[in-house]
Each structure stands twice: as structure tokens, then as C-alpha cells.
Amino acid sequence: MNTASPTVTLHAGAPSIADLVAVARSHAPVVLGEDALDGVSRSRRIIEDLASDVEPHYGISTGFGALATTFISDDRRRQLQQSLVRSHAAGSGPEVEREVIRGLMTLRLSTLMTGRTGVRPIVVETYAAVLNAGITPVVYEHGSLGCSGDLAPLAHCALTLMGEGNARTRDGELVDSATALRAAGIAPVLLAEKEGLALINGTDGMLSMLSLAITDLDALLQTADISAAMSVESLLGTDAVFAADLAALRPQRGQTASARNLARLLEASPIVQSHKGPECTRVQDAYSLRCAPQVHGAARDTVDHARLVAERELASAVDNPVVTLDGRVESNGNFHGAPVAYVLDFLAIAVADVASMSERRIDRMLDQHRNAGLPPFLAHEVGVDSGLMIAQYTAAGIVSELKRMAVPASVDSIPSSAMQEDHVSMGWAAGRKLRRAVDGLAQVLAIEVMTAARAVDLRAPLQAGPATGAVRDTVRTVVPGPGADRFLAPEIAAVTELVTDGSILQAARRVLGDLD
């Protein structure tokens, strides 16, 4: 954990994706802007005025969901808010990852700081204190339908604010929330009117997962260009198809960037130069080589669309009811997760396709009938050794799973709350499967990099290009070169770590500078 991250100040405006990730992954401290705290106080006064009104106001003096017409007397309203959180903290299954929960909490805090939710300053101050203390509420895999907010996940976080439920300390120890708060010197919050509702009504869980996935995919799609370039090189493919004038004939932004990366990565490669003469009889490469910019580029454009949706959602105040700028308290439907759910599903499709193309290149490098003279399965002693045969099986198994996870979650809806909430987004489920998909893509790309590194070595005395050679050398710091069969699982894991921690990307950048 990086404890040296700069602070992130939350104002009434939107945090950036980078700010969110800094808090979620690097435990960057959160600071509350004084101007925004003033706005929180002003909106709270509006809620307190309405709480004394004889007319019922949803979430302030009424029940929730299908019970929205039930009036609650003022002496029962604190109980109402506590009961709401306790009853909605109904998740089940395995624990959700710490970074997702911290991202979710940062986003809920950001919405509270807009001054549109009507909570007291003590609520936002305590929420920030919990986050900064490294206390992570235990949130479970199942429980959100992605509408009326990520209710169960957010309720588990609100429960910790109340000093109830369970949490993990900064060191990962599982304790009851009261113990965690006491150790950090934080007093539990006794929720007042509207506050329980404000703490659980948002798209924060799915948006947290979207923001983290966008950050990961920015790096992984550049890594996909690197692995594809290494495959083109090792298969004696051509770099001519990545020329700028050809890309310009189809001005798709992502494709142009990917083609430029591939051309730079293969520039000055002795292996590529070795077969550029008239003696080369190959007319054109297979699609998995030739069309890499088209597929990688389409995935990049999908990420950019998802980024636009995420940035708009980061700028949102998602709650119901909401305190408007002119002081009204109005019910609304902004908690519906459809915008986020759609792009989460869209990204899962793109991830599956990029991984599928990568697996096809892996298979081509191992097939003696298609790998331009390399040994079958890149084996050391053909017949005795299996080489990387089963590494391709692993990639194929992952890709098959990614294709199943590309089936959209957002097309499903199961009505809830006695048909009051009769259409839901399933955005949380879309986010959960996208996280698994991103992890799968990293593993497939790692297998391609590992396979291409061995194939390039087997082209000796021909040498890789400066950038692809630097990547191969980085792989060699954790995985030996070609030789007799070895235990492959640790090698795949080691190269996957190089992919996920950015080492593969950094190796290419040290030679070429930043990639597109």
C-alpha cells in the first residue's frame, strides 16, 4: 500500500477518476472542502424545516419504497433511519475487494458533499474519518440490483458508520465496527431524518468498479499492442499494414492510436527487416495479426465512451429525494443505474474480443503449420517436451469464460419492493463480472507475452527490435528462456504480475517513450 499519495480534496464538484483510484488503491487521504461543508449545512436546515411539517415528505417523515405513503411520527424517525440501514445491510456471499469498497465510499462521500442530500456535517465528517482511518466495512458480493442505488453494499458501509456490523482494519484484521471506530477515536453516528436514505441511495458501487476498470484497461490495451507486436515479429509478419496512411483511410481514433503503437514497436526490428525483400512470398498476414489495430482500437474507443459516462456520473448528485438548488426536496429517478450498467456490459464485450484475438495469436505461434518454421508448441525436444501447449489451453479456457461474461447483465430485470421498484439495472452484477473479465484479459495477454518471448528467442541469431527486445528481457527476469519442460503455472503467474503491475508497459516505454 502506498501511504505517500497526495491528498484528495472533495468539493461540491466532481472528483476525477484518478482521484477516486488514488483513494481506493493507494489510500490517499480525503480532505473536505470548507465551501462544500457550508453547502451541506444549508441543505440540512431545509430538511429540518420539512421534518417539522405536518405534511408527509418522502424519506423524511415517511417510510420507503412501497411504504412511501406511511407517515412516521417524529419520535420514531431516528429509529426509522437506523432500521433502514440495518434491514438493507442484507448482502451475502464472499467479501467484496477492499479497493471497490473504498471507491464506493469515496463516491458516496462525494455525493454527500454536493449539499444535495440533506445530511448533517457530522455525517460527512465521520464518513471521511472512517475512510482516512483505513477502516473498510465488510461488503458482500450479492445484494444490489443496481437500482434505488447499490442498496445492500452501501447499507453495510452505513452500518459501520453507526458502529454496527463488521469491518476490516487498515491491516486487514476482521473486527466488529464498534471496535474499529473506537480504536481510531471515531464516535459512531446516530442517524437523523433523511440520513439513512442518503447513505444508501446511489450508483457508487457500480461506478467504483467502472472507474477501476477504465484505469486498468487504459494500461492493458497498450499492453495488448505490445503483445501483438511481439507476435507479429515472432511469426515473421509484416509491419506495413500499420502504416499511418492506411490507418488514415479509416479515421477511427482508437484504431489510429493502436496502429501507431504497433508501427513504433516494430520499427527497427531485425526480425521484421529480415523478410522484407522480394524473396518473401507471403501476401498478407492472418486477421489476428493484420487486424489487431482494428480490434484493439475499437476497444479503446469503447473505454473512451465508458470514461465519458463515468465522468458524468462522477459529477452527479445521486440520491432520492434530493435537495434542489432552489431549496425544494423532490423525488427523482437518478439512482437508476442504466447509464453505468450499459457501459460496464459494453466493456465486457470489448475485453472478451481483445482476449479472443490474443489467444488466436498464441495458438498460431504454437502450430508448426502456421508459425513460419518454429518448433511445434515451441518445445525444446519435440516429442519429449510439450512446450507451451497447455498454456494455450489455459488461455482458451479463460477466453471461453470471458465470452460467457460478455452476455449483458443490464438486459435483465427482476422487480422488487412489492412492484414499486419494477425495473432495475443489474449494474452491480455487470460490474462484478467486468472485474473478473479484466483479470482474465491480463492473464491471456501475459500468456501471449510469454509465448512470444520464447518464439522470438527461437528466431536467433535474428534479434528482436529495441522495444520488443526490452519487453522480452523483462520477461526473462522472472521466466527462463527456451529449454526443457518446466512447471509452467508459476511462470504464467509471474508474467501476469509483470502485466498487472505495469512492468511490461514500462519496459516498452523506456525505449519508445509514452505509447498512445
Interhelix angle for 17-26 vs 98-112, to 10°? 130
Whether the CB-CB separation of 430 and 146 falls below 8 Å is answered with yes
Whether the CB-CB separation of 328 and 118 falls below 8 Å is answered with no
Q: What is the rounded distance in angstroms from the CA atom of residue 77 to the CA atom of residue 60?
A: 8
Whether the CB-CB separation of 203 and 335 falls below 8 Å is answered with yes
334, 338, 308, 314: which is closest to 107 by C-alpha? 314
Cis before 29? omega within 30: no
**Residue of 58, 140, 287, 393 marked active site:** 58
Q: What is the rounded distance in angstroms from the CA atom of residue 56 to the CA atom of residue 73?
A: 10
CA distances (Å), origin 91, targets 367, 432, 434, 512: 48, 14, 20, 48
Which pairs with CB-CB distance under 8 Å and at least 24 residues apart come from 392-397?
A: 392/359, 392/362, 392/363, 392/366, 392/447, 392/451, 394/443, 394/447, 394/492, 395/355, 395/358, 395/359, 395/362, 395/443, 395/444, 395/447, 395/448, 396/359, 396/363
Q: What is the rounded distance in angstroms from the CA atom of residue 1 to the CA atom of residue 178?
A: 25
58 flagged as catalytic: yes
Report, as residue numbers or ranges, the catalytic residues.
Answer: 58
